[in-house]
Amino acid sequence: MPEYQPAAFDPMDTKNITAVVCRELERQPLVPLDPEITRFEGSGLYAIYYAGDSHPLYAPLTPHMVPVYAGQALSHNSATGTAARSKNPLWLRLRGHARSIAGGGLSTAEFGVRLLLMPDVHADLGENGLRVGYQPVWNAILNGFGSNEQGSTTRKSARTKWDTVHPGRNRSYGATTHDRDELLAKAQAHIAAQVANVAAIPWRRP
């Protein structure tokens, strides 16, 4: 009989906690961004999905439920420890994202979101897990989707990669430094790799 070695498992290991958080998020219903989600209180984790079939770049993601963007809205400022100004930071974040999607010429009716209210520390682990595991295209390639225009310095900044591919948001920019066709090609190749990698996501394994 071959020598037997028992498996080791630490339920408090950050990788295991992350897998639990991400798995629980993906158990939540996919809520459409249109019409606007009813106001709710709390902070936590979220992932935005393309759920349509009309956009040629994102349509390959739809059957596999791979997010285009993952993020979190915290109850406290991570740098200062002060509480968020609003009682509904997660709802406000999603509301802003819906406006950005519409402003970028995309149909909010083709996008959905999964939401999970949770403590900041666990939301942070979940966001990191989703970003590392899925490499969402708006996080990894077409970055700039989640950026906010806050003042004259920001308005003078170069157009983001997301805004280069999806122009139309109600904001101003400095010089355009990115090639749109090149970004589209990178995003298409990235999405193909995401789809091929779905089975390797730890919390999606049987």
Going by pLDDT thresholds of 50, 70 and 90, the confidence category of residue 150 is low
What are the pLDDT digits (tens) for 39-65?
A: 999 999 999 999 999 999 999 999 999
From CA 158, how far away is CA 150, in angstroms rounded? 14
- Mean pLDDT of the 55-83 span: 87
Q: Which residue has the higher pLDDT, 175 or 113?
A: 113
Look up residue 198 and give its DSSP letter. G
Report the alpha-carbon distance of residue 50 to residue 42 in Å, rounded.
24
pLDDT of residue 149: 61
118-131 pLDDT, tens digit each: 999 999 999 999 99
Flag whether 5 is in a domain.
Answer: no
Is 76 domain-assigned?
A: yes
CA-based nearest residue to 113, from 23, 11, 29: 29
Q: Residue 148: inside a domain, yes or no?
A: yes
- Give 157 or 180, the one with higher predicted confidence: 180
Tell me if residue 20 falls in helix, strand or coil: helix
Residue 39 is assigned to a structural domain of this protein: yes
- 2 lies in some domain: no
Query: Quick one: what percent of the chain has pLDDT higher than 70?
Result: 91
| Whether the predicted pLDDT of 103 surpasses 80 | yes
26: domain range? 14-200
What is the number of structural domains in the chain?
A: 1
Q: How confident is the model at residue 195 (pLDDT cuts 50, 70, 90)?
A: very high
Residue 7 resides in a domain: no
- Indicate the pLDDT class of residue 152, thresholds 50, 70 and 90: very low
Better-predicted residue by pLDDT, 155 or 140: 140
Comparing 49-58, 80-89, 125-134, 164-173, which segment has the lowest mean pLDDT?
80-89
- Could you tell me the pLDDT band of residue 93, with boundaries at 50, 70 and 90? very high
CB-neighbour burial class of residue 85 (10 A; exposed 0-12, middle 13-18, buried 19+) = exposed
153 pLDDT more than 80: no
- Average pLDDT for 8-34: 94
146 domain residue, yes or no: yes
CB proximity list for 174: less than 8 A, separation 6 or greater: 155, 156, 157, 158, 159
Concatenating the DSSP letter of every residue in 48-79 gives: EEE--SS-TTTGGGGGGT-EEEEEEE-SB-TT
The answer to whether position 6 is within a domain reads no
